[in-house]
Chain A
Amino acid sequence: MEKIFLYKVYRYNKKLFFFFLAFAGFSLFCNFAGFEITPFYVWGMYSQKETQPKEYPVFKITANKKLVDYTTGYFPANRFFLLSPLSYYASVKTPEDPTGIFLNEKLGKKYEWAKPYADKVLNSPKEFDKFPGWFKNYIGQTTGEKVQSLKVELFLVSYENNNSIKIDSVHTLIDEK
Chain B
Amino acid sequence: MTLGRYIARKSGWYLVALVAAVSLNFLLPRLVPGNPVDVIVSNLARGGSVTGEQQKAIYEGFVAEFGLDAPLWQQFLTYLGKVFSGDLGTSFANYPASVNDLIGQALPWSIAVQLPAVLIGWIAGNLVGAIAAFRGGNWDRSVFTSALFLSAMPYYCLSILLLYGFAVVAGIFPVGGAYSLGLTPEFSVEFLWDAVSYYWLPFLSLVVVFIGGQAVGMRSMAIYELGGDYVNYARAMGIRDNRITQYIFRNAMLPQITGLALAIGTLVGGALITELVFSYPGVGTLLFNAITQNDYPVIQAVTLIITVAVLVANFLVEIAYGIIDPRIRAASAGEK
**Does chain A bind chain B?**
no
A-to-B contact residues, CB < 8 Å? none
B-to-A contact residues, CB < 8 Å? none
